[in-house]
Amino acid sequence: MNYYTRHIFFCNNVRKDGKACCSQLGAKQMYRYAKDKCRDAGQMGEGKIGISESRCLGRCENGPVAVVYPDNVWYQYIDEEDIDEIINEHLIAGKPVERLQID
């Protein structure tokens, strides 16, 4: 059994070359929002959800992005409503959010 049922990683890379990156598009704020929301709801920890930030996930052209494991589902999101939908529908209910998925 895995430690988490699902684990989402938010790209929070900072590029020093001036090119677009997830951190310039609000990724850090959405990571904090997701983590605080799930922690406050008691949804995080062993047998539940994991929420982490990462450095570059290599999908800068789609930013901001996040990926959910073990499902290997990639998301592009814009705001708190998108994050709420990913949490409720995918992380908790196990049903990926098609409208936010990227290939």
Q: How many domains does the chain have?
A: 1
- Whichever domain contains 97, its CATH number is 3.40.30.10
Read off the pLDDT of residues 21-47 as tens digits, 9 standing for 90 and up.
Answer: 888 889 999 999 999 999 999 999 999
pLDDT top residue among 16 and 29: 29
The answer for residues whose C-beta is within 8 angstroms of residue 56's C-beta and 6 or more apart is 11, 13, 15, 21
Tokens 């959405």 belong to 30
Q: Is residue 34 part of a domain?
A: yes
Res. 1: pLDDT tops 80: no
pTM for this one?
A: 0.93
Q: Is residue 83 part of a domain?
A: yes
Domain holding 94, by residue range, is 6-102
Q: Is residue 23 part of a domain?
A: yes
Read off the pLDDT of residues 39-96 as tens digits, 9 standing for 90 and up.
Answer: 999 999 999 999 999 999 989 888 899 999 999 999 999 999 999 999 999 999 999 9
For position 69, what pLDDT does the model report? 96
4-7-13 Cα angle (round to 5): 145
Q: Is residue 1 part of a domain?
A: no
The answer for residues whose C-beta is within 8 angstroms of residue 43's C-beta and 6 or more apart is 49, 87, 91, 92
Which H helix or E strand runs over 49? strand 49-54
